Each structure stands twice: as C-alpha cells, then as structure tokens.
Amino acid sequence: MLDPTSRAQALARRFNNVLTALGSLDDRKETLTPATAALLAQVQDAVEATRQAFEERWNNLAAVDPAVRDRLRTNLCDQVLRVLAEVAQTLLPALDGTTSQGIPVELDPILTRLAHRADPTNPAVILSSAPGFQYSVQRVAAPIQMATSVTGKTVSTTAGLSTFLFLRLPKIERDSALLHVILAGHELGHVRDWATQTSQNLVPPPLVLSTGAARAEDIVTHKNLISFWAREIVADIFAAFIFGPASLLSFTELVLTVGTLSGDSFTHPGPNRRIEIILGVLRQLDYFDNQEARALLSDLEKATAGAAATPVVVQQFSGQEIPQAAWDWLSSQVPSLIAQCQSALAPDEILDAGKWQEIEAAASQLSRGRPFGELVTGSGDASGDISVIPVPEPIILNAGWLVRMRGYEGLAKIVDLDPRDTKQSADLAAILDGLLLKSLEISDWRLNNAWGK
C-alpha cells in the first residue's frame, strides 16, 4: 500500500471517481447558475490537467535511477493527493450542494448582488447547501491554480479566473427565508470585513499575565482569540447596520436551535455577548425610540443585559486568564469597531428606524397573504403615471420577522390556520417563508427587469 506503484493505482481510481462525479454534475448543466457552471468547468480542467501531468511525470521517472525514482514518485503522489483532497473535500461538496433541491435559487442573484456590493472585486458566488445546521462563507482562489503544483506551469481554462465565494446554508432549511438573513447579513458581513480589513487592522496589546511574563504560545493564543472573536463581532455589526432587527432575530433563532445564549468558544464569543453588541447598534439606529420596534427587542435586551461583563468561560481552556484578557481588550474596542463599520457603509445601505413605516407597510401586505416585492403608485388610467419600484431586501425580511413575531396575525385568518397549534404554526411559517421568497424574487426581477419587455 505504501509503495509508489500502489499509491499511483489508488490515485488513478480516485481520478476516475472525481471525474465521474464532475461529469454527473455536467449532465445537469441547465440547472446550474453561470457561476457554478464556471466553477465546474475550472475544476474539470484542473483535474484533467493534473491527471495528464501525473501520468507524464510518472512515466518520465521510469528512466531515473531506481534509488531516487521511488522518492520522486512518492513526492509526486503527495502533490497529486493534495489536489484531489482539495477537490474532494471542498469543491465537490460545494458543487454537489448547488442542486435546486438544496438551495433557494431565487436568492442566488440577490446574494450575488449583495456580495458584489460587499466586495468590489466581484467574486463569483456559489450558493450551496450542506448537511448540518451551519451557515458559512469561504473565499476560494481560482481552482485552476491548484493544478500548477503538479503541472509546473499555468493551466489554461475557458472558464475565467475569478475568485469564488462559497456561501453555504443548511440543506434542511432551504426555504427558510427568515433564517437566511444570516447569510445575507452576518456571512456577507464577513465579506465586508475582508474587504475593509476592519478586524484585521486591530492591534492587540501585549499580554500581561498574573503569573508573570507570558509564554510565546500564550501570546499566540491571545492574539488568535482576539482575531477570531473580532471577525464574528464585525460581521454581526455590519449585519445589524444593513438588516436591522432581522439580523438579531435570525441570529437568535439559529443560536436557540443549536444551543443556548451563553457559552464562549475558541472561535466565537458567547451569543449573549454578541446579542448585546447588536442591540447596541440597533439602539444607535434609534430602534429603541420606536415603541413597535422596541417590543421586538425588549426580551433579548433583558436576557443579555450586562453580558459583556460576565466572566469568560472557554471550555477548551483550563484557566480563563488569557481568554478573559482577550475579551476585556476586545470589548473595549467595540465602539470603535461600530464607528468603522458605519463609516464603511453607504448611507443607503443602513437600515435605521426611520424606515419603520415601510417595514410596517410591507408587513401589512404579508399579513393579507400577499408578497410585497414591489411598490406600485399612481393611477390605472390610460393616461396616468404609474411608478413601480422594487422593495429593498432588508425591508422585506424585517417585515417577515414582524409578521412572525406578532404571531402571524392576519395571515393565519387568510389561510385558516391556528398559530397556537404547533403543526399549523409550522405550516404558517412555511407559507410566510414562501411569501418572502416570492417578494424577494419579485423585487430582484423588478430591479433588473430580468426578462425585458
């Protein structure tokens, strides 16, 4: 098994399997978005080029002195394995998750537009579903480049060389539009953070421990904790500015689905700390001056008051002095991070409480069992002026949360379902999510006049 020939035979089998899997995706090309089709073409080109280079180099080594040939062939196998591992572990699952059984295809153009607003380099967006209950975002360099480690030269592709942005959502939540605020808000908040380098620009202070000088590994841990936690906080802040209360409510729903409000981890500060920060942004946006908006937030305000001052407990650490020091410093930086995020956004991107009336109007339409993706004003007379404008996504999604938080009033009557009944409330939630996806689809269609006239 360990000799190069056995490894080459195993790799040949892996190549075949990978190419077969890519080929089956190719068979349903008509259901792929242009970005996914470009990714698939690049991965196919990369794998094919790697396979050809592997065979060529393997055969060329036949003429080399046997004493060094095995070592060189083993190195070659290692290089190929890294390419195949990247394909099998990252690229194929993402491509596999792009089927319409797993993603809300209506959101794809919207998320692409929002991602391009967050990142002016316009990465190609791959919306993909994954098992489990996680949302995530990952930037992936043009896959064709990974082949160069084996080919030793640039590999050509017809698919373009753009960077990709993988946005993942839980497959079982495909149509949960209310929850997908996390994707459009927090996950794309990470993209804004990468583009503005807000968290990356933080310079942690020297670590001072009660036991004396910090060890090198303590300093690294302290720095990593600040870096990981800052990324999450900055993404939360961007999401709160752009999506207002919906960012908070979707985050809380996700947290309560998979765990509890408290509990820090190595990569994420406790949800209660994050909620308190998000509430701070919403307060700054005047939501607490609006009685109706405040009613949505007051429970969470009470539940998380003072969370920033509670002791940090990260399960992975036996002593908590380093995480506590990291949190103490990072929490002192929050006002500055909020100011930086706000200044990085255009005024029309910020959803403050001044938009509340629009949110109420949209919620009123949803409660009547109607999508609200466009706003029609004017007269229906032949000579009259009619104006039709798309409703922005943050308004639609906040309106959805408003209907949900008010117990589906109105909508329940239209569809004759009882929100107090568990089964029927699930049906109501699905109907509301459908109305929201339709609203978002219509808004995007109106914005782009996608089908022309």
Partner 1 sequence: MPGSPSTRSIRKRLVDADDHFDITPLPEFDDARLGSINLRLGNTFLIARRASVSSIEAQDVRASQRLFDEVRLPGREPLVLQPQQFALATTFEYLSLPADLCGFIQSRSTYGRMGLIAATATYVTAGYHGCPTLEIVNAGEVAVVVRPGEAICQLVLITAGEEPGDLHPSRYQCTVRPYPARRM
Who's near 101: CB < 8 A, 6+ residues apart? Answer: 174
Q: Which stretch binds partner 1 (CB under 8 A): 137-145, 195-203, 300-308, 368-376?
A: 368-376
Beta strand 136-140 with 164-170 is: antiparallel
Q: How many residues bind partner 1 (CB under 8 A)?
A: 43
Q: Contact at 8 Å (CB) between 44 and 100?
A: no
> Of 11, 33, 143, 165, which lies in the binding site for partner 1, with binding defined by CB under 8 A?
33
> Of 27, 30, 65, 217, which lies in the binding site for partner 1, with binding defined by CB under 8 A?
30
Q: Contact at 8 Å (CB) between 111 and 188?
A: yes
CB of 450 to partner 1, least distance (A): 7
**Which of positions 81-100 make contact with partner 1 (CB under 8 A)?**
100
Q: Contact at 8 Å (CB) between 71 and 61?
A: no
Asked if 204 touches partner 1 (CB under 8 A), the answer is: no
For helices 356-367 and 393-405, angle between their N-to-C axes, nearest 10 degrees: 60
**Which of positions 130-189 make contact with partner 1 (CB under 8 A)?**
none
Burial per residue of 41-61, b for 16 or more beta-carbon CB atoms within 10 angstroms, e otherwise: bbbbbbbebbbebbeebbeeb
Who's near 292: CB < 8 A, 6+ residues apart? Answer: 356, 360
> Of 158, 315, 316, 379, which lies in the binding site for partner 1, with binding defined by CB under 8 A?
379
Asked if 424 touches partner 1 (CB under 8 A), the answer is: no
CB of 123 to partner 1, least distance (A): 18
**Which of positions 100-139 make contact with partner 1 (CB under 8 A)?**
100-101, 105-106, 108-109
Q: Contact at 8 Å (CB) between 40 and 26?
A: yes
3-state SS class at 313: coil
Asked if 446 touches partner 1 (CB under 8 A), the answer is: yes
Residue 14: name the closest of 95, 88, 89 by CA: 88
What stretches of 306-436 adopt beta strand conformation (E)?
374-378, 386-390
3-state SS class at 212: strand
Give the span between the Cα atoms of 123 and 212, in whole angstroms.
47
Tokens representing residue 186 in the block: 């927090």
Asked if 318 touches partner 1 (CB under 8 A), the answer is: no
Nearer to partner 1, 71 or 368 (CB): 368
CB of 436 to partner 1, least distance (A): 10
CB of 209 to partner 1, least distance (A): 54
Q: Which stretch binds partner 1 (CB under 8 A): 27-35, 246-254, 260-268, 327-335?
A: 27-35
Asked if 419 touches partner 1 (CB under 8 A), the answer is: no
Q: Output phi, psi for 152, to 5 deg.
A: 75, 5
Tokens representing residue 61 in the block: 């080594």
> Of 132, 160, 335, 378, which lies in the binding site for partner 1, with binding defined by CB under 8 A?
378
Cβ burial of 253 (10 Å; 0-12, 13-18, 19+) is: middle
Who's near 221: CB < 8 A, 6+ residues apart? Answer: 322
Nearer to partner 1, 182 or 366 (CB): 366
Q: Tell me, what amino acid is at 85?
A: A
Nearer to partner 1, 205 or 434 (CB): 434
Give the span between the Cα atoms of 433 and 169, in whole angstroms.
15
Asked if 437 touches partner 1 (CB under 8 A), the answer is: yes
Nearer to partner 1, 59 or 379 (CB): 379
CB of 242 to partner 1, least distance (A): 24
> Of 368, 409, 418, 426, which lies in the binding site for partner 1, with binding defined by CB under 8 A?
368
Asked if 416 touches partner 1 (CB under 8 A), the answer is: yes
Asked if 371 touches partner 1 (CB under 8 A), the answer is: yes
Helix (H) or strand (E) holding 96: helix 92-96
Asked if 27 touches partner 1 (CB under 8 A), the answer is: no
Q: Which stretch binds partner 1 (CB under 8 A): 7-15, 277-285, 296-304, 430-438?
A: 430-438
Residue 394: name the closest of 254, 232, 184, 248 by CA: 184
Asked if 407 touches partner 1 (CB under 8 A), the answer is: no
Asked if 434 touches partner 1 (CB under 8 A), the answer is: yes
Asked if 259 touches partner 1 (CB under 8 A), the answer is: no
3-state SS class at 167: strand
What are the residues binding partner 1 (CB under 8 A)? Answer: 30-34, 100-101, 105-106, 108-109, 368-374, 376-382, 384, 386, 388, 411, 414-416, 431, 434-435, 437-438, 442, 445-446, 450-451, 453
